[in-house]
Each structure stands twice: as C-alpha cells, then as structure tokens.
Structure 1
Amino acid sequence: MTILPPLPRPGLSLKTLRVHQQGAVLSIELSTPEQGNAVTDMMLDDLRAVLDHQDPQVRVVVLSGAGDDFCLGGDRSEFVPTDPAAEGVRISGIKARRVYEALTGNPAVTIARVQGRAVGAGLGLALACDLRVGSPDASFRLPELALGLPTAWAGILPRLINEVGTARARDLVLTGRAVDAQEALSLSLLHKVVPAEAIDAAVAAWAKPIIRRPPAALRVTKTLFNSYSAATLLADASVLEAELMAAAVAETHRAADAP
C-alpha cells in the first residue's frame, strides 16, 4: 500500500488557492497564475484539505482559475529523472484521484468557471464538475499522448467518455487537438458559453435556484447521477491509473537513459 503524506491541518494557510464562502456558495480559485495554475502536489493537497473540510451548509462549489487561463495542466517539473521508479508520480496520481472523487462525489453542485486554456489535468478538473460555463476564449486540450503519457489522471477518461461519448473522446485523446469554446459547447464539455463579462452572472444564475434545494434531495440526486453514469467499480480501470502513469513515466526514463 502506498503511504500518502499527511494532509494539511484544517486552518493551515493555503499556498495555491484562494477560497471564499458566501452563504451556501463556496468559491475555490486556483491561484498560481504565474505558473498557469499548473496542478502540483501542493495544489492537490490544498484542494483536498478544502474539500474534505467543506462546510456542510454549502450547496454550490465554484471552481475557477486566476489570470488568463483556467489551468495549464500538471506540473511536469515534478516528474523528476532522479525518481526512476516514478514513485512520486504514483503518489501524485493517488492524490489526484482522491481530489477528483471529492469533486465528482461532492454533496454540493460543483460549477467550473473556465476562461482561457484548460489543458490536461486542467480539463480534468473542469470535467469533474457538474456544470461548466466558459468565456468565448475558453479552449480544451489533452496533450498527454504527445508527451509520452497515457490519459490516466484521476479518472478523467471514463468521465470524458460519459460526458462526450466514446467516439468523440477517442478523437480528443488520440489527436490531442485543441477544442474552442463553441465546439466544447457542442461536445458538452461546456454547458454554456457567455461573454467574459457575463460569466459570473451565469454562475450566479445557476447557483440561485440550487441553494434553495433541500440538501437531502440534492445529495441523493447527485448520487443517482453518479451511479447511473459511472462504470461499476470492478470495471472501472481508473482505479489503476496511478500505477499506469507511473509505469509509463518510468519506461520513458529508462528509454532516455539507454545507450
């Protein structure tokens, strides 16, 4: 069994997020714009700490990114050649899956507020949310294959298949092409595209009726959606994704070191 580092203590200052709660709405902003809000181990720890200690009165969680882009994906600088067995990648993959499950299984309705690029793990974080709104400059891309990596991050592939369909998911994964906001809308990667100045109003329009829903009915409805759309646990290969990603990274290191 892989042992994960301890979680940050409740109340410990967050280094990669800005978090604000107003009534029943919890806003979580990825807040490292100088790095394109890249997903790091520290960000995963921060996200898990916030989601694990979420106020039970929260009905809506809004996930956004600071700066020009929502999230430019995983921080590949953490895939270090001094870790030939890719143990760090394996641990990061387990953390990512737990964050993903905290979003998809959240008792509140989760909303992704997307501007600019959502790449790789960034697309994954948006996809984990129940509802997604984007500005006209929003775009999505899965470049993992071009980087020598499988699309094995936190359960993104089964979620993508459920949301857009197998044939369209195959196109996006195998080509790694960028999808603009209007195509993302047609693929159901986005539910709405609105002008940048109207994106907060669109989030508020979704949140207003949701926060009036009885919490028990909301929780059960979300559970039903997840149950009906997800593969059974025995058939869900995403439980192996951390191992698959680590194996791929380790093999890449071995190939690079070969004479």
Structure 2
Amino acid sequence: MIEDFKSLVVRNEGPVLMVQLNSPETGNALSEMVLDELLTVLGVVSQQPGIRVVILSGAGDDFCLGADRREFAESLAADPTGRGLRVLGTKARQVCDALATTEAVTVARLHGGVIGAGIGLALFCDLRAGADNCRFRLPESALGVPPAWGGVLPRLIHEAGAARVRELILTASNFDAATARELSILHTVVPEDELDAAVARWTRPLVRRSPSALRTAKVMMNAYGNAHRLADATLFDAELLSSALSLGQQARQG
C-alpha cells in the first residue's frame, strides 16, 4: 500500500485496509498533516478496487479529540485574515467527502474520547462501532466557534435528528456510548476488549459481497440522504469557521 506516513499507520490485510490515526500525544488531533495523509490514503483506495473495507481507528487512549486548536492559533497568528484556516476547512470537507463516497465500505472503530471534529470524522464512515468507554462531546459553542468542520452538521442532523443535535450543540454537554447508540451515532457498543471482534463481524461478510452491489448501495444511500437538500450550505463551512475565528482573534486583540 503506502508507507512512511508521519501521522498515520496504514496496514493492508488483503481486501481490508487498516488506517490508524497515530498522534496519541495530541489525542490524535486532526492537523493539516493528518488531513493531507488521509486524503492521500483515500485517493489510493479509490484507485484500488481490491480494497473492499477501510477501518479507521486511533492510537493511544482516544480515537480523536478534535481539530488541532494549537494549529488554528498558529495559523491565525501567521495570517489574521484566516486564509490558512480556510485551507484547513476545505481539506476537512474533502476528507469527509472521500470517506462517504469511496467505493470501499468505511468502518470507524472508536474508543475513548471522540470529540468535535473526531465525531465528524467518524460520522462520515458507513459503519461505526464503539467501545463502552467512549465519551463524546460537541464543544464548539463552549469554544466560541460554529459547528462548521467538514460538513458535519447536516450529516449529524440526518443521522441523529435535529432536536437532539440542537441540545448537544447548544449545551456542549458530554454524552456516553449508550447515548451515542441511541442517537445512531454508533451502530453497536461493546466492551473495549471486544471491539476488534465487533468490527470483524462486519468485515468478514463485507469482503464476500459483490463489489458492484456494495458500490451501488453506497451511491443510492448517499443520493437519498442528500435528496432533501436544495442547496449545500456546508460549502460555506470553511469560510464560516475561518471568519468566526479571525473575528474572535481581532476582538481579543482589540
């Protein structure tokens, strides 16, 4: 497959590609480097029809603690207009789109903290298995930024329902794996030591399915899932996020 990534561990097991976020010292924060490397991997997957399943996981104690806020601050310090943040926002959307639209079935293997953009990354996977120690949070309102990462808001509303999502975003409250299962953010919840077995129960039959049948099913579900959207407002997510952070920075300095 591909080697020598700095922020990922990528391993091929026949028709299954294992992709692990590998920056545990940052809680696997989604930096620009991580986004670039995920885009590279998913680009290769699109060119290799032999890869039938992609399993996305995280190293260390957490799946992903969200976007790299330190990188946000550094980007704003270098360019207060927020241009660098718009680049990051565009890459985030590209990664999420690639997860949703790649012909391979994407599986999120979640444990520990799944926060902010980490929830977004998981949501764009087709199937999501979580350990019972998962803890979730959408902290954007508490941080003074809009929930505008990777086009996550409409995906979250579609998967979990507008009323509950409104509560989670406005209160920025923590919720556990059982609640995530109730909201369809997770499809299954198991003890952490059974997580690999739970993912394997999906993987084994998936690699035996007709590739064209799986591809068609994904295309149809994506099409029906977007049928109610007359316009895609998430195209403005990168602009919205960069503008909000840039104005916040200017207000603090003023």
Q: TM bucket by the smaller chain? A: over 0.9
Residues in 2 aligned to 1:228 and 1:208: alpha-carbon distance in whole angstroms: 27
* 1:162-173 equivalent positions in 2, closer than 5 A: 162-173=158-169
Match of 1:40 among 6, 31, 34: 31
Please list the CA deviations of residues 210-235 of structure 1 after superposition, one character each: whole Å capped at 9, or x if unmatched: 11111111111001111111256752
Indicate conservation of the 8 Å contact 1:162/1:230, yes or no: no
Match of 2:70, SS state, is helix
Indicate conservation of the 8 Å contact 1:39/1:74, yes or no: yes
Mean CA deviation greater in 184-193 or 232-241? 232-241
Please list the CA deviations of residues 55-109 of structure 1 after superposition, one character each: whole Å capped at 9, or x if unmatched: 2211111000001100000111112342211111100000000000010111111
Match of 2:6 among 8, 15, 39: 15
Mean CA deviation greater in 77-86 or 151-160? 77-86
Partner of 2:65: 72
State the identity %. Answer: 51
Partner of 1:7: none
User: 2:7 aligned with 1:28, yes or no?
Assistant: no
Indicate conservation of the 8 Å contact 2:2/2:41, yes or no: no
Q: Which runs of 5+ in 2 are unaligned?
A: none
* 1:39-188 equivalent positions in 2, closer than 5 A: 39-54=30-45, 55-79=48-72, 80=74, 81-82=76-77, 83-188=79-184
User: 2:244 aligned with 1:253, yes or no?
Assistant: no
Total equivalences in the alignment: 249
Residues in 2 aligned to 1:178 and 1:236: alpha-carbon distance in whole angstroms: 29
Residues in 1 aligned to 2:168 and 2:147: alpha-carbon distance in whole angstroms: 11
Q: Which runs of 5+ in 1 are unaligned?
A: 1-9
- Which consecutive segments of 4 or more residues in structure 1 shift more than 4 A? 231-234
